[in-house]
Chains A and B, each alone.
Chain A
Amino acid sequence: MSKVVASLQEAIRLCGLKDGMSISFHHHLRNGDYVLNMVMDEVSKLGIGELTINASSLFDVHLPLITHIQNRTVTKLCTDYVSAGIGRWISQGILQEPVEFRTHGGRPSDMLLGRTPVDIAFLAVPTSDTMGNCTGKVGKSACGSLGYAFPDAMCAKKVVVITDNLVDYPLQNWSIPETYVDYVVPVEAIGNPAGIVSGTTQITRDPVGLVMADLAAQVIRYSGLLKDGFSFQTGAGGASLAAAKFLKEIMVKEKIQGSFGLGGITGYLVEMLQAGCFQTLLDVQCFDLKAVESLRTNPRHQEISSIHYASPTAKSAVVDNLDVVILGATEIDVDFNVNVHTDSSGYLMGGSGGHSDTAAGAKLAMVIAPIVRARMPIVTDHVMCVSTPGRDIDVLVTEKGIAINPAQKQLKQRLSDAGLPVMDIAQLKQMAEKVTGIPRKVPRGDRVVANVIYRDGSLLDRVYNIP
């Protein structure tokens, strides 16, 4: 027996795709992904329309989607993140129905609860056998973890695996087993390796970034959490990586043995694992080649599903045991609400990803950002969009000082006692406005273009069109 079908079009036909159905995609191939466009081209040739796309993230490589939206092949989007090119179209109101933004934990949760049923999941996988046992660890398009694809495989009525490395049955060390898979389609290439993972993610050389990173590491050091058993997540931004590097130096010097590093994994987290800072890495997505290599070769580096990572309705998820997370922000307001969905002009250019999941779970959720970015003060009175509620954010670290959520009295005391530059968040706002001037309000339309759905399924905020 074999599940291999000759073409994508045949697989789509066999799955019985019809008008109005919902199809899903995962984003491990990031801006190198060919699969979403490939599938949508076939769907559009078949003349099927009014589809919902449920994608864990959308990148600008997916801009051909705009044409499919204009042709009404696609009429609804659900995603956890969009990059700026696609975000601009959404903000200009290309879709009649608002885009549904979820979090990396909320998406699998809603799928498993049946709130967002998926008819067909299309899984881009770097290696699969003829029955659909598949993995991202090997193959010419290796992307490492397939963490975000698990709920799609588990919940969709039909599952199509698309691969550019078809191997004999049975594949060893699979990530997603054949039990979920209906069809396997071999193609020439599932993605462009240059866009899938970066060769190396680089730490910042910007002096402002380094000052922030150093302060972030000091905050962790004096938070009371940096001791044996410590767990940590950070993003792939330059300053976050620098903070990880400074943290590693502290942990090595003080011989602190942490328990796990979590999240999107970069080479810097791998170095921390190798240096003995952690017992294990729990990996929902690899950001660079070093992470892919480590996941493939080091048994202490483990792949986890997005359910296991962050689902609020799983019996437990790793974020619930996280000590510290370092997060970014396009804006943060005086109540510590964070915006990572829109830019300072209100255009969509991001999304929660795991932001609000980790902020909710972590004992210390830290935002690091420069006090001014391209003349925009980072601290505002009200963020344009609440991506993560202020109650879940504990500290803001800028190059000029750190502000602590008033609810965290003990932390404030600890950091003040350590001699760190603790100040009121309103002070940071004033400092910035002194050099930038006070920004005027940007015009906003009155049509909702996106709903931001919190990890528990409730509506957290709305994003309006830009006229």
Chain B
Amino acid sequence: MGQIVKKATAGTMESSDAYIEISPGEEGEGLDIQLESVVYHQFGQAIRKVAEEVLQEFSIERAKVRIVDRGALDCVLRARMETAIRRGIEEE
């Protein structure tokens, strides 16, 4: 199982990008994904799905994720998620 050991971020607040913050979740809790998006109504579910998929690929079952989406395409979201996770699981 992948483990987020520290707070990490990836991405920017630029239009068409997403800013992602990931941190170790509370003991006994699963995934907590907070999503803010300029296209929340249109693509909120799709964005959440991508985030969950990437977390699953890294076998992360416990983490707090904050996504501030500025209209990023799935490929961008995926890349930002992956980078945030890699930064969060690295040891100092």
In contact, A374 and B42 (Cβ under 8 angstroms): no
Q: Does A90 sit at the interface, judged by CB under 8 A?
A: no
Q: List the A residue with the shortest CB-CB distance to B77.
A: A375
A70 to chain B, nearest CB (A): 27
Considering only residues 34-73 of chain A, those with a C-beta below 8 Å from chain B are: none
Which of A374, A441, A443 interacts with B39 by CB under 8 Å?
A374
Question: How far is it, in angstroms, between the C-alpha of A416 and the C-alpha of B77 when the chains are bound?
Answer: 37
In contact, A344 and B42 (Cβ under 8 angstroms): yes
Question: How far is it, in angstroms, between the C-alpha of A199 and the C-alpha of B15 when the chains are bound?
Answer: 25
Question: How far is it, in angstroms, between the C-alpha of A437 and the C-alpha of B74 when the chains are bound?
Answer: 9
Q: Does A13 sit at the interface, judged by CB under 8 A?
A: no
A306 to chain B, nearest CB (A): 32
Could you mark each residue 37-80 of chain B with 1 if its beta carbon is under 8 Å from any beta carbon of chain A, else 0?
01101110110000000000000000000000011111000000
Q: Does A373 sit at the interface, judged by CB under 8 A?
A: yes
In contact, A439 and B16 (Cβ under 8 angstroms): no
Given contacts A440-B42, A442-B42, is CB(A374)–CB(B74) below 8 Å?
no
In contact, A376 and B73 (Cβ under 8 angstroms): no
Considering only residues 323-376 of chain A, those with a C-beta below 8 Å from chain B are: 344-345, 372-376
Per the CB 8 Å criterion, the residue count for chain A at the interface is 15
In contact, B43 and A374 (Cβ under 8 angstroms): no
A376 / chain B contacts, CB cutoff of 8 Å: 39, 42, 71
B53 to chain A, nearest CB (A): 14
B52 to chain A, nearest CB (A): 16
Question: How far is it, in angstroms, between the C-alpha of A441 and the C-alpha of B42 when the chains are bound?
Answer: 6
Question: How far is it, in angstroms, between the C-alpha of A374 and the C-alpha of B71 when the chains are bound?
Answer: 4
A434 to chain B, nearest CB (A): 11
B81 to chain A, nearest CB (A): 16
A443 / chain B contacts, CB cutoff of 8 Å: 41
In contact, B39 and A375 (Cβ under 8 angstroms): yes
Q: Does A436 sit at the interface, judged by CB under 8 A?
A: yes
Q: List the B residue with the shortest CB-CB distance to A436.
A: B73
Question: How far is it, in angstroms, between the C-alpha of A13 and the C-alpha of B23 when the chains are bound?
Answer: 62
Q: Does A314 sit at the interface, judged by CB under 8 A?
A: no
Q: List the B residue with the shortest CB-CB distance to A376.
A: B39
A252 to chain B, nearest CB (A): 34
Question: How far is it, in angstroms, between the C-alpha of A440 and the C-alpha of B45 when the chains are bound?
Answer: 10
Question: How far is it, in angstroms, between the C-alpha of A345 and the C-alpha of B43 when the chains are bound?
Answer: 11
Question: How far is it, in angstroms, between the C-alpha of A373 and the C-alpha of B38 when the chains are bound?
Answer: 11
Most A CB contacts (10 A, CB to CB) among B15, B41, B45, B46 go to: B41
Interface on A for B, CB 8 Å cutoff?
344-345, 372-376, 435-437, 439-443
Interface on B for A, CB 8 Å cutoff?
15-16, 38-39, 41-43, 45-46, 70-74
Q: List 17 A-B contacts (CB under 8 A).
A: A344-B39, A344-B42, A345-B38, A345-B39, A345-B41, A373-B71, A374-B38, A374-B70, A374-B71, A375-B73, A376-B42, A376-B71, A436-B43, A439-B42, A439-B43, A440-B41, A441-B41
Apart from A374-B16, A376-B71, A436-B43, what 20 extra A-B contacts exist at CB < 8 Å? A344-B39, A345-B38, A345-B39, A345-B41, A373-B71, A374-B15, A374-B38, A374-B39, A374-B71, A375-B42, A375-B71, A375-B72, A436-B73, A437-B43, A437-B46, A439-B43, A440-B45, A441-B41, A442-B42, A443-B41
Q: Which 6 A-B pairs have the closest CB atoms?
A: A374-B71, A439-B42, A375-B71, A442-B41, A375-B39, A374-B15
